[in-house]
Structure 1
């Protein structure tokens, strides 16, 4: 078995090799361009892809022995899932390895933005000592938390904030109202979500349906004291529109762990003290990293044994 793994630091080739077994050879290579992937995976049976690995139809045609593209993470928006299916290449991801971590990070961003910790921190470090430096702050209890997508991470966020006395609503056309109600979450349509939400948590995957779903019109509908946090996928939130909304006072604060381009360059959010930005790190803990390698290896072993991997991506879904 020949596997090519991205050189992204989160992927440990030695650990992955141990999980794949003694018959596996794991080669680490740069995989951040189409040409690099074509060259690196030309003779590979398996490609372990990171968040920046482009797997296009062109790449797949150049890698005739490839049988699986195993995404070392959740999102598959850089992988042409349909083209892979047409060429009998299985695509997998690791959907639950960091549910706890991303949920915790989401809550941390929500609270940091709500309590204006970024502004306070900057004020104190530059010689200030003013409780008013944080701007207008509202009490958490009694606010409404709104979810864009209500999957495992959003469900865990709901559990974590249950003791704070917040109400919760969610927009997700693929989750039944009864299922949400069991978590004391009300199912609403997208416009209702925006009209009723004080704290907006974006947890959606990037699909053609969700791309730029949270845009200028959405920010206009939110209350002016709203906090917007995105730990889903970067392309779901229009970052330029978000910066404009912050500047106009249509949104009070924002916390982003994911961006349309990673790393972002020249973002209008960089100079804003009402925006807290983290480097797509919500997934990280040592425990999550170990789980990631175990699951990637299990998916690869299954595919190469002509079995259906436990985390196979359904090509019929509207993946970007």
Structure 2
């Protein structure tokens, strides 16, 4: 059955809307996981090659993996990127991810918390990231159309160390119930940067950030940006799968990769936000490639989600 048909969208009650929102979160999880099985074997990271130096003279025990950017220091240049939350099932996924982050010291970001602000009974599905990881670096996550008050509420809910603001106009356009007005995003981002006391990270959701976009973000006062390119989870495909007619298939693959975004950013003659990279990261070698291209840290979501779900299905 098509997922959007299963929503039974004739229930306009507050409870009905809440159930639909939670069901949509679960649909996203299953559709994102399914993409892991059929994604192309190659992506743009495979076109990045290192020059091998046989006498590098390195002692591994003296190498530090710590990374510092925009006043933030992480023990490793790797983080669990924003994924999910908003339902009982996704609460369990977030719990598993939070425990992994706690045990490894890897920073972790939540999925979009808008549902938690609208429907407080879903808040624990996000709060578990902090309760299971009390001393870790945790990032809250909201859409770029959030208000400063909502941004502060999201930060407070998680005791967050940073706030991700996602820009996802392509996803919203394909999403059956998505927004079509993105004109207020720049002003909203600037207002949130000015208001919240934690670092703000503006990120795409798998379609890439161009050099002009990064320059615009710098003008808005944004100090950190995740270029989040194509090659990983494709939210245009996910949302098209939820459309009754699946009539936006032509949008699959839209955008530029993290590799292209990082190379584009390197050509800028202006100061840009510190860059993070995600999208299509499959292996430690891909992490190294992104770091070599200018990223200060690298986010992974799909690979970790697939691992958690594989454990979920194991008796």
TM-score where L is the length of structure 2? 0.34
Q: Which has the larger radius of gyration?
A: 1
TM-score where L is the length of structure 1? 0.34
